[in-house]
Amino acid sequence: MIELKQVSKKYGDTIAVNKVSFKVEEGENLVLLGTSGCGKTTTLKMINRLIEPDGGQILINEADVLQQNPENLRRGIGYVMQNIGLFPHYTIEENISVVPKLLKWEKKKTADRIYDLLKKLHLPENILQLFPSQLSGGQQQRIGLARALVANPAILLMDEPFGALDNVTRSKIQEEFKELEELKRKTIVMVTHDVLEAFELADRICLMDRGEIKQIGTPKDLLFKPANDFARKFLDGQRLALEFKVIKISDLWPNLPNAANNDAKALNPAMTIWSVMEMLSSKGTTELSFVNKNDERKVVNFNELSKAFNEYKKHLQP
Amino acid sequence: MSEQQTLWQFMSMESDKLLNQTLQHIGLTFISLLFAIAIGLPLGILIARKRKLSGTILGIAGVLQTVPSIALLGFMIPLLGIGAKPAIVALLIYALLPIIRNTYTGIIGIDKHITEAANALGMSKLQILLKIELPLAMPVILAGIRTATVINVGVATLASYIAAGGLGEFIFGGISLNNTNMILAGAIPAALLAIILDALLSIIQRLDFKKLRRILTAFPVALVLFSALYILPSAYGSGLKAGFTPEFMGRQDGDLGLKSAYGLKIQTVVISDAVMYQAAYSKELDVISGYSTDGRLKAFDLKILKDNKGIFPPYYAAPIVLQSSLKKLPGLEDALNLLAGKITDSIMTDLNYRTDYLHQTPTQVAKDFLIKNKLYKTPRNGNMGTVKIGSKIFGEQYILAEIYSMLIKGNTDYQVETKTGLGGTKICFDALVNNQIDFYPEYTGTGLLAILKPDAKLVTKISSDRDETYRYVRAEFLKKYNIKWLKPIGFNNSYALMMRQKQSAQLNVNTITDLKNYLDKN
């Protein structure tokens, strides 16, 4: 668990981070979202003391990070960055082994762990003897992730981890990222300026502007209960897409027509509108059926979906 | 073809010396490089950490780099004496700038995301330096070491000025003795050394990271091994130490004569005339080869050992002029001959003393002398042409050049251009032959032994009589080079062995034979 209490950072006369406080629960994924210069990266880097705060307290599992040896602290926290920062003069194997070596792991243990990770990240074994410059951008980013994960840190800090990738590679790696079992157990703080990415990956989003937190809450909170004008306007450009990504079939359940048949291929209502629409447009089918825990059955097509969605939104208006 | 033959013959004849000098040269280069790396690398790292210091430190290293090498070697003598120590320090000072600068540039040039990643993974500052920064900066650092190595191979030739050995002994000896083969025997190996070391380091520099790592562990070992090549010239048993100029080493009326006529065996180093007297004064050397009229004799309280077997015959000093210049510039000969017979040995010694010890300028000394002898005339500022005067690189010649300059300006309508400080007999004489200067003061002995080089029989026959020598060189120069010896200036200059007054009295050594007997006994 990570807790920030009234944390501040100044550069000369400019206040980069102003009295920021938040908590990240164990296993939670908190995304720091905002435009460049809003203080999100500074906030992230203060957690592992790459940047030293000027005021306030940062606690990890109730221990003040400022009281700890910074090197030992960092060895226990995974760190993934936009520019990846692989060491160009190290082979891939040596790059991944940096932290285990610092922690003086046995060679066998390190090697086993590396093979395990390679498999999970869909990377070939022969990659280990190559140098970073011989890898594609996507492969390099996966190695960067492997390097951060290899020593099983409970906490992972990610600074725009997908920022340097092209669109196709990025969505592919984001998918893998969501699927990775290892990451589901970890406490993650991630920085991004990409609203869609934040909504896709976050349990909660911390929206920042000019060094201050504007709103902190679930994606749904941000969309439907904006705390202020800034939060509202920040999401306006992509509002519809975000709503489709956030609202699930289960949210629309009462507004959907009951199904007559007993379709054996009925789907789980935890799917978002976005993914249902993707299925409807790609599969060539006009209807999809769902079944919930209580064995209630509903049927969905484009028409019904937009009707139910509008109903749902009407409800939300105060 | 025959030229190459003789060079080859010279090199094989002197192969022992050549090998020894080459090893010394490599040794000097690498010892100083080793120290320069030991100092420059940490300094480069320091200023990469504390950027505010970078301007100051790079500035100081830069200023040190611009100090002329000879001057730097001169500064070292009072501090470190002569020999290996001052030479190594001077060389390391020249090697410092490229090493500091490239270490600094190499480290600050590293992508800051890489160091940030290293930091974030929990590497300590030392680990980041050793495992990330230095390896990544290594190609740039190696480029600096490469530059420093090539500079050092070049500057190390000057080490022979202060008795530290190296290939400079051949080069400067050759220049003084007008011996092209000797110059090339030193210059060619020095150039090859620079080229080979440069090529080797460029190969290392271009290796990829994997191979570089293996090489880098071998690099310091090689450095130390090469450094060990520097072995000081082996000592004879005696406690006395002699310093002779490169020219003296190769002349019949010099070291060769000392060996054949006296059988003198003394531990000898080769040293520049510019620092030799100082070194004798500060007890770095006990016996030196000086000139009998040198003012520093008086200044440093030195005593001439009597040449009881007469191997240093006295020689006249006189201006030697191109015949073509005499035709082109009528009246020049008369103006120059105004000085004929005017400067005796004691006057020359006194004039030298004024510049060397009282630190008066040669111009002042020249003017005072001319006024005293009623030879001074106010310059006519004429515009009939220009006379180009040359001089060698020691005090007496500067004074003579100034005196001639004033005589020409006062007695003719010519303007004067002086080219003083021409490095040695060869440089001066070549300048004259190639019409770069019109005349310079030369000594009949040098004309005979360093330029004409007749066979040994003739030399022994005529060199004991200074007038015969004068007649011979006058006739030969006219015939061979179309150069005329004017009337002698009056003083005789010859080589002389010198010791400190005090030591000479202590050991009761007054003649060269005394010296030999003393050395044989001890």
- DSSP notation for B454-475: --HHHHHHHTT-HHHHHHHHHH
Cα(B427)–Cα(B419) distance, rounded to whole angstroms?
A: 11
Helix axes B15-49, B2-13, angle to 10 degrees: 80
Residues of B in contact with A71 (CB under 8 A): 122-124
Identify residue A155 by its one-letter amino acid code: I
**What's the rounded mean pLDDT across residues A23-27?**
91
Q: Give the gyration radius of chain B's Cα atoms.
A: 27
Q: Report the gap between the CA of A23 and the closest CA in chain B (Å).
A: 22
Query: Quick one: pLDDT at residue A317?
Result: 61
Q: Determine the pLDDT at residue B1.
A: 39
Find the length of chain A.
318
Instruction: Provide the residue ranges of all domains of chain B, joining segments of one domain with +.
Output: 2-234, 241-310+497-521, 317-493
Q: What is the DSSP letter of B111?
A: -
User: Topology of domain B241-310+497-521, per CATH?
Assistant: D-Maltodextrin-Binding Protein; domain 2 (3.40.190)
* Tokens describing residue B270: 């080769």
Please give the pLDDT value at position B366. Answer: 93
Percent of chain B with pLDDT over 90: 35
Residue to substitute from A87, A141, A158, interface B, most B β-carbons within 10 A? A87
Closest CA to B446 of B421, B432, B428: B428
What is the arithmetic mean of pLDDT over A22-31?
Answer: 92
pLDDT at B5: 54
pLDDT tens across B396-449, in order?
A: 889 999 999 999 999 999 999 988 878 778 888 989 999 999 999 999 988 888
Does domain B317-493 bear CATH number 2.40.50.100? no
Q: What is the mean pLDDT of residues A5-19?
A: 90
Mean pLDDT over each residue of chain A, to the nearest integer: 87
Residue of A75, A98, A149, A150 to mutate, interface with B, max B Cβ within 10 Å? A98
CA distance A142 to A114: 12
ipTM for the predicted complex:
0.84
Mean pLDDT of A203-221: 91
Helix (H) or strand (E) holding B125: helix B125-127
- Which value, in Å, is the radius of gyration of the alpha carbons in chain A? 22
Residue B128 has pLDDT above 50, yes or no: yes
Is residue B176 over pLDDT 80?
A: no
Kindly give, in sequence order, each residue whose CB lies less than 8 Å from that of residue B171, ignoring residues fewer than 6 positions away.
B157, B160, B182, B183, B186, B187, B190
Minimal CA–CA distance to B188: which of B165, B145, B157, B230? B157
Contacts of B121 in chain A (CB under 8 A): 74-75, 79, 98-99, 102, 147
Please write the tens of the pLDDT for every residue from B461-493: 887 788 888 999 999 999 999 999 999 998 888
Contacts of A157 in chain B (CB under 8 A): 120
Distance CA B488, CA B470 (A): 9
Q: B57: distance to nearest CA of chain A, Å?
A: 28
Task: Report d(CA A164, CA A157) in Å as an integer.
Answer: 17
pLDDT at B281: 86
pLDDT score, position B236: 38
- Cα B20 to Cα A289, B155, B195, B198: the distances in Å are 96, 18, 20, 22
Alpha helices in A98-207 (DSSP H): 98-102, 107-120, 137-149, 167-179, 181-184, 195-201
Q: pLDDT band for position B234 (50/70/90)? A: very low
A34 three-class SS: coil
Opening angle at CA B496, ends B422 and B510, nearest 5: 160
Q: Per-residue confidence at B237, pLDDT binned at 50, 70, 90? A: very low
CA distance A129 to A137: 17
Give the span between the Cα atoms of A139 and A127, in whole angstroms: 9
Chain A residue with the nearest C-alpha to that of B122: A71
Give the distance from residue A75's alpha carbon to the nearest chain B alpha carbon, in angstroms.
Answer: 5
Beta partners for B416? B387
Place B283 in a pLDDT band, splitting at 50, 70 and 90: confident
The helix or strand, by DSSP H or E, that contains position B392, with its residue range, turns out to be: strand B386-392
Token representation of residue A257: 């027509």
Residues of B in contact with A102 (CB under 8 A): 121-123, 127
**pLDDT exceeds cutoff 60 at B2:** no
Is 90 exceeded by the pLDDT of residue A162?
no
Q: Label residues B154-169 b or e (16+ Cβ within 10 Å = b).
A: bbbbbbbbbbbbbbbb
What residues of A are in contact with residue B120 (Cβ under 8 Å)? 48, 50, 74, 79, 81, 85, 157
| Bridge partners for B511 per DSSP | B306
Res A113: pLDDT? 93
CB A81 within 8 A of CB B113: yes
3-state SS class at B33: helix
In single-letter form, the type of residue at position B366 comes to: A
Residue B165 to residue B28: CA distance in whole angstroms: 9
Q: Do B118 and A87 touch (CB under 8 A)?
A: yes
- Calculate the alpha carbon distances from B446 to B31, B244, B250, B436 in Å: 38, 16, 12, 20
| CB contact (8 A) between residue A79 and residue B120 | yes
Closest CA in chain B for residue A75? B122
A102 vs B119, B122, B135: nearest CB: B122
* Fold match flag (B241-310+497-521 vs B317-493): no
Contacts with A85 from chain B: Cβ below 8 Å = 111, 113-114, 116-118, 120
* pLDDT tens digits for range A81-97: 887 889 998 999 999 99
The domain made up of B2-234 is a member of CATH 2.60.40.10:
no
Q: Which of B112, B115, B121 to mutate to test the interface with A (most CBs of A within 10 A)?
A: B121
Does B268 or A2 have the greater pLDDT score?
A2
Q: How far apart are the first and last CA of chain A?
A: 35
Poorest-confidence range of B170-174, B177-181, B360-364? B177-181
A221-225 contact pairs (CB < 8 A, 24+): A224/A316
Please tell me the least confidently modeled range out of A283-287, B23-27, B283-287, B384-388.
A283-287
Encoding tokens for residue B421? 């400080």
Q: Can you point out the beta strands (E) in chain A?
A: 2-11, 14-24, 29-33, 55-60, 63-64, 77-81, 155-159, 187-192, 204-209, 212-217, 288-291, 297-300
| Cα gap B74→B86, rounded to integer Å | 9
Residue B85, token pair as written in the block: 């120590």
The DSSP string of B175-207 is HHHT-HHHHHHHHHHHHHHHHHHHHHHHHHHHS
pLDDT of residue B257: 84
C-alpha to C-alpha distance for A133 and B412, rounded to whole angstroms: 78
The dihedral of CA A120, A124, A128, A134: what is its sign?
Answer: negative
Nearest chain A residue to B111, by CA: A85
Tell me: the pLDDT tens digits for B81-125? Answer: 777 888 889 899 999 999 999 999 999 999 999 999 999 999 999
pLDDT of residue B231: 54
- Does residue A226 contact residue A235 with C-beta atoms inside 8 Å? yes
Q: How many angstroms away from the CA of B220 is the closest CA of chain A?
A: 20
CA–CA separation, A301 vs B372, rounded Å? 125
Average pLDDT of the residues of chain B: 86
